[in-house]
Structure 1
Amino acid sequence: MKLDPCKFCGGAPGDPRDDQIEFDSWVASIDCTGCDITITMQYSVDSPLLARERISKLWNSKP
């Protein structure tokens, strides 16, 4: 999924990162390369692919 520029500074987003927090629980986050904000999921999903998809949709949503 193509990521939009940062809603705060217009900077380029970094690649989505996924993190395994338990055996079958994943979260993800995206950092802005311009202003260093980070958007992180506050819930877990059951696969790294789904976590990256969800954080990408959250990044592209309106603040």
Structure 2
Amino acid sequence: MAIQEMARPAVTHRASERERLAATALMAEPETVVSDPPLFSPQAVGALLLGLLLSPKTPKERAPR
């Protein structure tokens, strides 16, 4: 008993040049413009320090008994 069967379209349709170009334009990713490097932000330093102060301490290793 075959559970899977090949699905074949009843009518074959060839895309016209215009349809093919439209589909290609939708699927192709345009090249991105190279951006500047990230800029220094003094507000980020405060957020990083606050995160460091609020983070839990590392667990201490217990001596074997």
TM-score w.r.t. structure 1 length? 0.23
Q: Whose radius of gyration is greater, 1 or 2?
A: 2
Q: State the structure with bigger RCO (CA 8 A, min sep 6), 1 or 2.
A: 1
Q: Specify which structure has the higher proportion of strand.
A: 1
